[in-house]
Structure 1
């Protein structure tokens, strides 16, 4: 087989594979249908926890669940699946609040944190207060 024909076959095969993954849903991002969906997903991994308030992000790709003072549960979409974590202030390396947006940097090599945009500033303040004391929260200039 000549080299040009082989190159064309390889390129066509790779393109076909990528298209098949895309059209079968492999590139979709999971979203939360609402607070009940977030609670149910969190309960799958942490059945003994009893979350209180649920704060969904604007894009519905994450939810922060109030557990007790100084602890939060996080449900965040990663591709077409959800990651769940329990976060305490000692897990947080950095937290920056810009209005209704929180940026978290975590001390966890399996999940480095993320950027969470809430519908209103009160939700961002509540989550920040649960994770850090007021004098530790740095507001972006």
Structure 2
């Protein structure tokens, strides 16, 4: 088989694979239908925890669950699945709150954190207060 034909076949095969993944839902981001779904998803991984208040982000891609003093559960969409974590102030390397936005970076190499936009600034304040540690939080100017 000639090299140009082989190159065309390989390129076509890769393009076909990418298209198949895309059209079967592989490139969609999961969203939470509401607080109930966030609680149910969190309970799958942490059945012994008893979450309180659930704060959904404005895009419904993440939820923060109150787990008591200075502990927070997180349900965050990654692709078409959800990642769950329990975090406390000692798990956070950096946390910045700007109005209704909380940006956090945990010391967990398996999850880089992110920028979370809430519909209400009070939710962002509550999350920042629950996760603030010594010199970790600052309000952006």
Task: Indicate the residue corresponding to 1:2 in structure 2.
Answer: 2
Task: Indicate the residue corresponding to 1:34 in structure 2.
Answer: 34
Does the residue aligned with 2:11 lie in a helix, a strand or coil?
helix
What TM-score do the two structures reach when normalised by structure 1? Answer: 0.96
Does the residue aligned with 1:26 lie in a helix, a strand or coil?
coil
Relative distance call for 1:57 and 1:134 in structure 2 (3 A) is farther
Task: Indicate the residue corresponding to 1:108 in structure 2.
Answer: 108
C-alpha contact (below 8 Å) 2:53/2:65 kept by paired residues: yes
Does the residue aligned with 1:65 lie in a helix, a strand or coil?
strand
Task: Indicate the residue corresponding to 1:60 in structure 2.
Answer: 60
1:135: Cα distance to partner?
A: 7.1
Unaligned runs of 5+ in 1: none
Does the residue aligned with 1:127 lie in a helix, a strand or coil?
helix
Moved more, 86-95 or 3-12: 3-12
Task: Indicate the residue corresponding to 1:15 in structure 2.
Answer: 15
Task: Indicate the residue corresponding to 2:77 in structure 1.
Answer: 77
Give the paired residue count.
141
Task: Indicate the residue corresponding to 1:98 in structure 2.
Answer: 98
Moved over 4 A (4+): 133-136
RMSD over aligned CA atoms reads 1.3
C-alpha contact (below 8 Å) 2:31/2:60 kept by paired residues: yes
In 1, Cα distance between equivalents of 2:70 and 2:106: 15
What TM-score do the two structures reach when normalised by structure 2? Answer: 0.96
Does the residue aligned with 1:68 lie in a helix, a strand or coil?
coil
1:10: Cα distance to partner?
A: 1.1
